[in-house]
Chains A and B, each alone.
Chain A
C-alpha cells in the first residue's frame, strides 16, 4: 500500500472516530474539541488533494473561527463540568436505525455506481488561479457568488448583532 493511501485511511479513521465522539460526548466542551479534530482531519485531506488554499481556509475559518465561537457560546450558556443528560434510549435506537439505513443505502449506491474518472489536466489550485477565477465575470468566473456571499456575510453579521444584542431596559422588543 502506498504511503499516501495509508495516510488517507489514517486521517479518515481519525475523522470518523472524532466525529463519533463529537456527537456522543457527554460533556459539551469536549464535544467541541472533538469537532476541532474532525475538522482538522478534513483540512488534512484538503492538503492531500492539493487544495492548499481551501485547507488553509478550513483551518482558519472552521478550526479558528467557528469552533472558537462555539466554545465561547458554550462558556456563556453552560457550566464546563456540566454533564449533558443522556437522550432517551428509544430516540437513540430510532435515530441509529435511520442513520444506519441512510448510510447503508448511500454506501450501497456508491459502491454499485461506476464512476468514470477523467484524466488530470494539470491545473493546480494555486493562489493566482483562485484569485483570477474569483474575480472573473466571464465563463467559469465566480464574481457573482463571491459578491453575494460577501453581502450575505454582512447581513449575517448585522443579524447576529441585532439578535444577540441585549435589550435596553424598558424597551419592548
Chain B
C-alpha cells in the first residue's frame, strides 16, 4: 500500500517531525511541553525504524519490534518523567525548566 511513496519522501517527513521536536524541546519552558516534544521525536524515530524495515529489509520485522519496544520504553519514561514533574511542582511550585537549576556547579 505504501510502495507508491518513495522512501526518500517518507524519511523527509520523519526528519521534519524530528526537528520540530528538537525545536520544541529547545524553546519550550514548561517541562510538560518539553516532554511532548520528546514524544514527537521518539515518534519520528519509530517511524524511521518502520520505514527502513518495510522498504529495505522487508520480512524480518526488526523495525517493527524495535518500535514496539520503544513505545514501551516511552511509556515508562513518560510515567517517570511525569512523576518527577509532579514532585518538582510540589516542591518549588513550578515546572519551569529555567527554575530547575539546583544541580548546577
Contact = CB atoms under 8 A, between A and B. Distances in A.
Task: Report if A and B touch in the complex (beta carbons < 8 A).
Answer: yes
Contact of A121 (B1, B5, B58, B71): B58
A160 to B, nearest CB: 4
Contact of A142 (B40, B47, B65): B65
Given A39-B39, A66-B75, A84-B29, A159 B80 contact: yes
A38 B43 CA distance: 9
Interface string B18-61: 11111110111110110111011001001100110011111111
A156 B77 contact: yes
Contact of A62 (B9, B10, B39, B80): B39
B81 to A, nearest CB: 9
Contact of B86 (A28, A54, A73, A92): A73
Interface residues of A, number: 89
Given A23-B33, A73-B82, A142-B65, A117 B56 contact: yes
Interface in A83-120: 84-85, 87, 91-92, 95-96, 98-100, 102-103, 106-107, 110-111, 115-120
B23 A23 contact: yes
A20 to B, nearest CB: 6
B33 A163 contact: no
**4 nearest CB pairs, A to B:** A23-B24, A156-B76, A121-B59, A164-B83
A95 B23 contact: yes
B68 interface: yes
Contact of B71 (A61, A96, A119, A160): A61
A133 B54 CA distance: 17
B87 A164 contact: yes
Contacts of B18: 103, 106
A117 B27 CA distance: 38
Contacts of A45: 2, 47, 50
A69 to B, nearest CB: 6
